Every structure is written in structure tokens, then in C-alpha cells.
Amino acid sequence: MSDNTDIKQVTVISGKGGTGKTSLISSLAYLLQNYSILADADVDAADLYLIFSPEKSEKTDYYGTKKAVIDFDKCTKCMKCYESCRYGAIDQELNIEIVRCEGCGLCKHVCPVDAITMIERVSGNYFVSDTRIGKMIHARLVPGEESSGLLVAEVRKKALQVAKEKNKSLVLIDGSPGIGCPVISSLSGSHLAIVVSEPTISGKHDLERVLELLKQFNIPGFIVVNKSDINMEITQEIEDKFEKDFPVIAKIPHNHIFTQAMIEKKTVVEIDSEDKSVKDIQETIENIAKLILEKLKISNKNTF
């Protein structure tokens, strides 16, 4: 059985949503199913859920930040907590709006009669589920709760544990978009990042910010330019600008197959088509999967 340290972690990220990240990672997860466990760290988007229809087999409560609760038997209505809460979570009737409470504890600190307690509340759950490609770890937040780095870390920890139990060499992580706390949590400790980008001015800007993060964390990365033909000039600029540190390993042209796959709840590589442009894209994705195995020195069982 693999030691945790033997298990490689690959995170697929993008500067923002809608770049084709889910299409790519779902296809990679399908192709690499003999090697990997899939971890969905993009907690706000249910796209992988739609493609793989996971059947939940294990559920764990996730406790986020603590929340303030007032004991009105003790409260003297001095309003100090109301005045001190900078998140506007306490109203003039001293009701606490739970989703606004950031758990900073300042109200408890200023309360002269110790009427406030910080309590743990379930902010979401994470699950181990069965899918047609094997185990998938994913999470759900209670409505109003924000996606957090802590929850992403829990999903990743669970995925590593399941990978070890199932004797898999790889955890494929669908990273949160952006550059905030959840994406940092999706990336930290990864052995490789695949960054999906689009050739638009904002796409290039987002890419630059994500690559800065990779540099800070010292994580090697590959770039995949999706819809590369919508602006060949910017695609070329991306190659010229970043190639030295982050090779562009694939340029995938715009194609109807991405939408068709989503509608059919399949991965792009599962679509049966004689169309050459589709076959080319499927081959490109297979090459990315092979490159991941090669880069991480995982022996290729030659199953795709």
C-alpha cells in the first residue's frame, strides 16, 4: 500500500470560472481512473457533480468558524457588542445574523457581563462518493456560508486518505477559481498544477496572477490554453511570456464538443465521434494525461 508521501497531487486551476477547467479535469479523471482519486475543491460549482452523479457513501460534518450566541438571561442590553461588530452581524434588537458573523470574538471580548458564547456550528459537509470512475471526494456548504480554505483542506486530506486505502498513486484536485484563500488551499503541497486559461486580455491577466501564486509556492505548472483559436495573437503572447517557467503543453481550439459533453453528462473523452476536430481534442487531452504520469514518474499502465 502507498505511503501518503508517495501519493502525488495534481491541481487543475484557472484564474476564474468558465475557462473549461471542469471539462479538462473530468476528462483527465476519466482517463486516469486506474491511478487516481478525484477531489472536488471547487466547492461553489457543482459541475463535476453533474458529470459524475456521485452516490454518497460517507458523510462528515464540517465545522467552519465559530459563531456568537447571546444569553439573554445575562444580557443587560448595554449595546457594546452591537457597536463593536464591524461585520454588521448584530442588529439593534441584538439578533445575530449567523451568516454575517465571522467568528472574530470581539463581541464576546467587550461584553461586560460575559453573556456571549462562541459556539461551533456545522457549516457544511464533505463526502466520499462512488462514481463510474471510482471514488470522488466533494463538499457542500450550508446556504449562505462561504467557501473556505479550511473546507478545501479537509476535502484534500480525505482524498489522500482514500487514495492510500485504494492504493492509488494520484489525487486529482479540481481547484477553486481565483487567487483567494480556497485556491491557495487547493494548491499548497501540490506536486504539479495545470492552469487552464483563455486567450483574452482578462484571461491573460488572471493567468499571470495564478502563475505568481505557483512561483510563491514553488509548484511546477503547465499551461493549457483553451479556445486557443478565438485570439491567436494573445495565445502567442501567452506562450512567449510564460513559456520559460510554465510550458504551454496544449492549445485546444473552440469546439462544440465541450457543450455537448456537459449536456450528455459525460466527459469530453467519453464522447463517441468520428469528427476529426473532436478526435484531435481527445488525443490532446490523452497526451496531457500521459504527460502528468511522466512528469510525476508514475509508471504508465498503458490503459488508455
Are 21 and 174 spatial neighbours (Cβ–Cβ below 8 Å)?
Answer: yes
To ligand SF4, the closest distance from the beta carbon of 159 in angstroms equals 31
Are 152 and 41 spatial neighbours (Cβ–Cβ below 8 Å)?
Answer: yes
Q: Which is nearer to ligand SF4, 37 or 81 (CB)?
A: 81
Give the span between the Cα atoms of 27 and 172, in whole angstroms: 11
Give the span between the Cα atoms of 2 and 205, in whole angstroms: 39
Q: Which of 138, 106, 107, 101 is nearest to 120 (CA)?
A: 101
Are 96 and 69 spatial neighbours (Cβ–Cβ below 8 Å)?
Answer: yes
To ligand SF4, the closest distance from the beta carbon of 60 in angstroms equals 25
Give the span between the Cα atoms of 235 and 38, in whole angstroms: 29
DSSP string, 248-300: EEEEE---THHHHHHHTT--GGG-----HHHHHHHHHHHHHHHHHHHHTT---
Q: Which is nearer to ligand SF4, 79 or 232 (CB)?
A: 79
Give the distance, in angstroms, between the CA of residue 105 and the centroid of all CA atoms in the same chain: 29
To ligand SF4, the closest distance from the beta carbon of 122 in angstroms equals 17
Give the distance, in angstroms, between the CA of residue 164 and the centroid of all CA atoms in the same chain: 20
To ligand SF4, the closest distance from the beta carbon of 220 in angstroms equals 39
Give the span between the Cα atoms of 98 and 67, in whole angstroms: 7
Q: Which is nearer to ligand SF4, 50 or 79 (CB)?
A: 79
Q: Which is nearer to ligand SF4, 115 or 155 (CB)?
A: 115
**Cα radius of gyration (the chain):** 22
Q: Which of 32, 12, 19 is nearest to 194 (CA)?
A: 12
Q: Which is nearer to ligand SF4, 84 or 273 (CB)?
A: 84
To ligand SF4, the closest distance from the beta carbon of 96 in angstroms equals 5
Q: Which is nearer to ligand SF4, 59 or 109 (CB)?
A: 109
To ligand SF4, the closest distance from the beta carbon of 104 in angstroms equals 4
Are 203 and 196 spatial neighbours (Cβ–Cβ below 8 Å)?
Answer: no
Are 181 and 209 spatial neighbours (Cβ–Cβ below 8 Å)?
Answer: no
To ligand SF4, the closest distance from the beta carbon of 68 in angstroms equals 4
Q: Which is nearer to ligand SF4, 117 or 255 (CB)?
A: 117
Q: Which of 186, 265, 213 is nearest to 12 (CA)?
A: 186
Binding-site ranges for ligand SF4 (CB under 6 A): 68, 70, 75-81, 84-85, 87, 89-90, 94, 96, 101-107, 110-111, 113, 115-116
Q: Which is nearer to ligand SF4, 102 or 270 (CB)?
A: 102
